[in-house]
Amino acid sequence: MRAWFFSENAYHLLPPAPEYDSIRVKLPNRYYDPKLGADLYHRFIDEWLMAEDLGLEIMVNEHHQTATNVNPSAAVVMGALARVSRTARLLILGNPIANRREPVRVAEEMAMVDVYSRGRLECGFVRGVPYEMSAGNHRPTRMMERFWEAHDLIVKAWTTHDGPFNWEGKYFHHRQVNIWPRPYQEPHPPIWITALSPGSAREVGARGYTAACFLTGFEGTKAVFDNYRERRVELGLPAAAADRFAYAALVYTGETDEEGYAGARKLMWYLESNKVPPQFTGPPGYHPIASTVNAMKGITPGIYKMFQNPTLEGLMEHGLVFAGNPDSVHRQIMRMYDHVGGFGQLLMMSQAGFLDHEETVKGMQMFSREVYPRLKELR
């Protein structure tokens, strides 16, 4: 198993929550102090590099118009990391390609990062969370059609080496696609795609990419991985190796259970701070009709109740948080591993909110020294 250090790069120095009604989309940026922001950016880059020194891989993502994540361009921060890191694999999870107006630009940026890093890029494509719709003016309907057309165009741009090709699709038009540079890796960087539903798991499984689940807990993750595997059987394709399955959780390892739980409680800022009014959580067309109907009736699937009033005990019980002393963390990860039929990539959100630099580093050190060696043996 490979483990990735992931930080959302939040700007957590906000006024009390009652003073604003949404942390996303409309929170005025007068609350952002660029001088403090610069210190935070440099601190987060330092932490990624310390993760590399500890043998962990590096993961970044992007969000827009939100204090929960101040990386509106994953390519920019990964460009910096590609220059200053040396050995770690570099995962962007990911590029919200249904929301990017120019997929060819994404192909160019990702090729650049791949060349900068001499072939260490792992390129994720994501649909993007519902709050991105208003933030970027992206139409929430027929998104996956747009997503897959963007994907097809990017892969073709990466793999065409004999001059321009033509693309006049439903959503994107380019008559002369011929990117420079081309990717360092052949035929292109490994592709990851977030899959939160059985339907998208089947699409990803058919293509053999790495499917990543975020905070989907025991049953949600199992459903995604099962559908991925079943789709490959249906298509007569070889079984996927464990590295095609990724699970993201909040992870904090302490010397004692108490220290681990204390770190995890600070990581929970990520869930607790997500104050968002309904118009941004359910843009029409983003969620399937049946889910919208259930939401109107006040029926919330079990795991989402976790997000409304998160408790550490509940989150740990559902497999959204792995925390405690090294043995506890290892045991919790293995419980998930065994439940979902194995996975080869552990995406660890191990910095959030008020977890300070020393605490973040300590959690990483404890994990990498005391837990990771046991996980690396898993195939």
Partner 1 sequence: MSSWTTVAGVQLEMVERGGGRPILWLHGEEGLDPDAPVLGALAAHGRVLAPSHPGYGHSPEAASIDTVDDLAYLYLDLLAQQEARDAVVIGASLGGWIAAEMAVKSTTGLGRLILVAPLGIKVGDRETRDVPDIWALHPDEVLKLQYYDPARARLDPTTLSDDRLTVIARNREATALYGWEPYFHNPKLRGRLHRVAVPTLLLWGAEDRFVSAGYYGAAYRDAIPGARLEAIPAAGHFPHLEQPDAVAERIRAFITN
Q: Which residues are near partner 1 by CB under 8 A?
A: 25-26, 133-134, 137, 139-142, 277-280, 283-285, 289, 292-293, 296-298
- In angstroms, rounded to a whole number, what is the distance separating the alpha carbons of residues 360 and 47? 8
Question: Which of 96, 319 has the CB closer to partner 1?
Answer: 96
User: From start to end of the chain, where are the E strands?
Assistant: 2-7, 57-60, 90-96, 121-126, 165-168, 173-177, 191-194, 210-214, 245-253, 321-324, 345-351
Q: How far is the CB of 125 from partner 1 (least distance, A)?
A: 22
Contact 197, 224 (CB under 8 A): yes
* Closer residue to partner 1 in complex, CB, 72/282: 282
Pick between residue 277 and residue 302 the one whose CB is nearest to partner 1. 277
Residue 134 or 332 with smaller CB distance to partner 1: 134
Torsion angle of alpha carbons 97, 98, 101, 106, nearest 10°?
Answer: 10
**Smallest distance from partner 1 to CB 116, Å:** 34
**Non-local CB neighbours of 231 within 8 Å, separated by 6+ positions:** 201, 202, 205, 206
> Closest approach of Cβ 330 to partner 1, in Å?
44
**Residue 102 or 356 having the CB closest to partner 1:** 102
Q: Output the smallest distance, CB 192 to partner 1, in A.
A: 28
Query: How near is the Cβ of 292 to partner 1 at its closest, in Å?
Result: 4
Q: How far is the CB of 332 from partner 1 (least distance, A)?
A: 37
| Inter-residue contact 24 to 131 (CB < 8 Å) | yes
Q: Between 16 and 298, name the residue whose CB sits nearer to partner 1.
A: 298
In the complex with partner 1, the residue whose CB is nearer, 181 or 284, is 284
Count of helices and strands (H, E) across the chain? 16, 11
To partner 1, the closest distance from the beta carbon of 27 in angstroms equals 13
Query: Tokens 């460009």 appear where?
Result: 79
Integer Rg of the chain from CA: 20
Residues 82 and 185 sit within 8 Å (Cβ to Cβ) = no
Assign residue 128 a region (left: φ > 0; alpha: ψ between -120 and 50; beta: otherwise): left
82 three-state secondary structure: helix
Residue of 210, 256, 208 lying closest to 231 (CA atoms): 208
